[in-house]
Structure 1
Amino acid sequence: MKRSGNTILITGGGSGIGAQLAHRFHDQGNTVIVAGRRLEALEQVSEGRANIHPLALDIDSADGVKDFAARVIAAHPALNVVIHNAGIMRFEALDQSRDLGDAEATITTNLLGPIRLTDALIDHLVAQPSAAIVTVTSGLAYVPLVATPTYSATKAAIHSYTVALRDALQGKVEVIELVPPGVQTELTPGQENRPGYMPLDAFIDEVMALWTQEPTPAEIMVERVRGLRFAEREGRFDAALTQINAFARKAREGQG
């Protein structure tokens, strides 16, 4: 993926990782479109930056995604990079019957959203020079968090989808997977200050350094997430499962 001169769409661009990526890519000389539900938050991200453009997107609506794709292409015909960053994470108890609304919403946002948006934009992207699709998964795609089972499952599914997409688009569109660890963002209540989670600025610094490598790595992983990514390959899966779940539980309880 080239460093500058891109027109980059970032979903979930109103806060956290998405907002920080928007600023960093803008600083490198790219035009950036930040998309999400909350237009006010998007406008704050774009404030004072002439080439960051806010655009409302309801990622949960199939018709809304199609309409958005048409609008973004019309407004930004040079669009050549899409970063699928929008996502939600909900805590769920699996040991009793429950309302599945959170699980269904997680699947719609985290899995159907990127699939629908990729489909809506793929004909356009294939025709663009230096095109790229970036999916944002998680270390939990490889070792699940028991308290957020559907989130972990959607990230595992997006990893699999990314592998297939990369092969299908070989020679046409570059496909990159960004794999965060637990980062101090607003993904879950209190997470922005949760002990033991990676500070957002430090995460973005390391990510952008990895992004400057030539060629761009197919998987962009900060050092902190590699233990989860390769746990199964290295025969450490059971230990990693126990460790990550104990750590997350203590961190949520303020014991980290």
Structure 2
Amino acid sequence: MPHAMSFFAGFPNGYPSYPARGGPFAGPSTTPEGSSAGMTGDPQFDIFEWHPAYQSCQRYFLDHAQHDGSVQAVAALINITLPFQWTENPITSSSGHPSHSTGPASYNLPWPRHGPVPSSQRQGAPAWVSLVPYIRRLIVTGFDRDGVLHGFFGDDWRKGIGPVQECERRNYLFAAKSVGWAKVKFQYDMSPHESVPFLRPLQNVQLAEIEGAEKTWSQWLAMEDWMVGPRAPEMDESAQDSAGRNPET
């Protein structure tokens, strides 16, 4: 186990480096051929195959990852609290649930991570925590690397959170294209106590990812001009194939 001081050794240009491969962050690498199927615009995406894998990632995150020192170090660096650290209604495992829940969970956020638990469901119901805030924070700080995602979400991370990662990476590109740095940062700040400490440009970007984002961005611009339905602009078929191809093809 590397010494804690060497864990983030070699910060490039003032930004933290990625954790060394090892410990909970040791996971098989992802190649374009091994990328997960995307949620958006992919006719092969099967929600019923994806959901059990996502639940597996939730269980791993709650039962194991959040209690690991390396995961806690990354969470502290990117300034996001783990469920067991929440001031109100902490969640220590997937089988646990808040001891009480009279308000919109533990954060005073526009979007609570977990809503109030009805009294009829407080007993016997597994805890549910959204993984999206953690995925988003890892992406915008440049930590959505294979080993880190494996350490946070377990062996099923490609199937479980890989599609969410793909969507949120595209959302990050769209945010950067839509507004300036300050407003992008504001969108990813979660509360006064969990603001984003730094933003990094999207990491490990594939050409197919950029082309897919360009195609979807063009569709959004058409939406802004009401060019949808019968008014939708026709795209050249070869251009569609090029812009929309999956990184695994």
When Rg is computed on C-alpha atoms for both structures, the one with the higher figure is 2
Scaled by the length of structure 1, the TM-score of the pair is 0.28
The structure whose RCO (Cα within 8 Å, separation 6+) is larger is 2
